[in-house]
Amino acid sequence: MRFTSTTLIALAVSLLPAGAALASPEIHHGGIDETEVGVEDFCGLTVDIRSEGTVTTQDAEAYFQAELHVVQTITNEANGHVVYVEVSNRQRYDDSDNGDGTFTQVIRFDGVNTRIYTDHSNVLMRVVGSVSVTVTAMTTTT
């Protein structure tokens, strides 16, 4: 399945070089309000995706974190059937300079709660738990 809003936030943050965060933590609250029409080859179908939700981010010197809640309405263009995808989690990205031209980023998704359901509230799938990934990469200069 494709979780566009979650993927966009994760991609944007993972592209931040080490040390790109601000010295003082900053907290931002925002909304997610997106519509994608005619998304082709979505599990073999053409669908429309409506995403609505909230995101709160905190940007500090050595980490970035986001808490989000998104509900996506995925409509099959061929027959009008709808499936909902509800995602809530806390994402945290901790950066550290290794001192050798590389940095390590630990990415954690805690409190993952994903539910896919129908108009009749029939739960088709539920995913809960936590995920942690560690990435080491070369430090980029601008």
Query: Which pLDDT tens digit goes with each residue over 70-125?
Result: 999 999 999 999 999 999 999 999 989 899 999 999 999 998 899 999 988 889 99
* Helices marked H in 4-123: 4-14
Give the DSSP letter of residue 62: S
Extents of the domains making up the chain: 4-138
**Pairwise CA distance, residues 6 & 9, whole Å:** 5
d(CA 3, CA 87): 8
Indicate the pTM of the whole model: 0.68
Query: What are the b/e assignments for 90-124, b being 16+ CB within 10 Å?
Result: ebbbebeeeeeeebebebbbeebebbbbeeeeeee
